[in-house]
Amino acid sequence: MYNVKSHKAEEFIDDVEIKETLEYAAANRDNRALIESILDKAALCKGLTHREAAVLLDCNIPDLVERTFRLAEEIKKKLYGNRIVMFAPLYLSNYCVNGCIYCPYHAKNRHIPRKKLTQEEIVREVTALQDMGHKRLALELGEHPVENPIEYVLESIRTIYGIHHRNGDIRRVNVNIAATTVQNYRKLRDAGIGTYILFQETYDKQKYQMLHPTGPKSDYAYHTEAMDRAREGGIDDMGIGVLFGLSGYRYDFVGLMMHAEHMEAALGVGPHTISVPRIRPADDVNPDEFSDAVPDDKFLHIVAAIRCAVPYTGMIISTRESSKVREKVLDLGISQISGASRTSVGGYTEPERDEDTAQFDLADKRSLDEVVKWLIELGYIPSFCTACYRAGRTGERFMKICKSGKIQDCCTPNALLTLKEYLLDYASPDTMKAGDELIRREIEKIENEALRASLKRDIASLEAGKRDLRY
């Protein structure tokens, strides 16, 4: 029986409730009056229920689909402005004991070379990332109790935070590792991680078990309840997502919305981020074998519906997607993107070698400088900000500030300061010219005269050699 506050996976992600929701959405996909009322509610930025969100996604009325897209854009601009947070994944190890059939790391894959970074290799990888200008990383590694124990993860985090190269520092380390124990989540919290990220892959339990035939990850309930344990372990910021294309997108969309509702109701804080990856080619994985692949037009609809349903949650798009698709979804709700990513273990220090340890193929292979310049030319502020995390504005505290509208007083100035740092230390001449002009325009838009004057002084301080200024 469905219970949003239950800590049991099959109760807060209830199969009967999802199927009834899908029937409800299908029956109302042409119900103009209902859909207009849902859009009116979404415009208040208070969020939607999973049933309301499902109706938006299933809507077949062209002008209302277009209105959904435009509303998503309005909500994005109202809450996030034109800031886009930059990050990069760092793959530590591809050793894995699981049997996930969509991932080349699966234990039976004999084609892919196995590799695990030493702490010395991590230093070289992170130094290369710092030399690009990155300040925020997401650690990725397979599940292997011997090769990748929690002690290895914790040691790697300490190493990363301790690397200071020229003006480079990694100021926020997010972690995407397998579901683990409350005790281990406490260790991750104490290590100073930013967001704990774990994708459900699919919420369809029957499909989940088929896709995960062996290994610890095959335990659907343990995996799905991971965020409850992470919260119990003291982690404030948690990120969820599914891998669209593994199963029916409508089912997984509803499950994703129910998970967000559960976190808000039972854990006291909703997801800090929602990621929307789609299945991609990789060694030993052919996406054509998955019959539920999501076409671009429906993918855009998914992003817009999520933004309308969970307005205060950050949304992430990776370099799985092409620059063309990434450009389209930026307006519809995406607030974080990766740049210059490598999905292979050791890929940042060996960029010319074959991607033989990669988890998936990249669709956007541009350098970080190219991505930054592209964003600037589109009118966005590439942000390398980590201020909220380091100032303790996390979890419930972050959401309260965000919902009050006061977060803009911090976020826009911090985005401009971190962009200026990037321009001074790493940018090409063309990117620096475009970025300085963007910063000048954005400062003049700030209505608070005192804040505008303070920001101009801080920009001058950065030009004089100071670093890491924040609000």
Q: What is the pLDDT along the chain (471 residues), one digit of tens a residue?
A: 999 999 999 999 999 999 999 999 999 999 999 999 999 999 999 999 999 999 999 999 999 999 999 999 999 999 999 999 999 999 999 999 999 999 989 998 888 899 999 999 999 999 999 999 999 999 999 999 999 999 999 999 999 999 999 999 999 999 999 999 999 999 999 999 999 999 999 999 999 999 999 999 999 999 999 999 999 999 999 999 999 999 999 999 999 999 999 999 999 999 999 999 998 755 666 666 777 889 999 999 999 999 999 999 999 998 888 889 999 999 999 999 999 999 899 999 985 544 555 555 576 889 999 999 999 999 999 999 998 888 888 888 888 777 776 666 789 999 999 999 999 999 999 999 999 999 999 999 999 999 999 999 999 999 999 999 998
Judge contact between 333 and 75, C-beta under 8 A: yes
- Please give the angle made by the CA atoms of 307, 260 and 266, to the nearest 5 degrees: 145
pLDDT at 281: 57
pLDDT at 260: 98
Q: How far apart are CA 381 and CA 375, in angstroms?
A: 7
pLDDT at 279: 84
Judge contact between 68 and 55, C-beta under 8 A: no
pLDDT at 360: 52
Q: How far apart are CA 260 and CA 240, in angstroms?
A: 8
> What pTM was computed for the model?
0.94
Give the pairing of strands 273-275 and 237-241: parallel
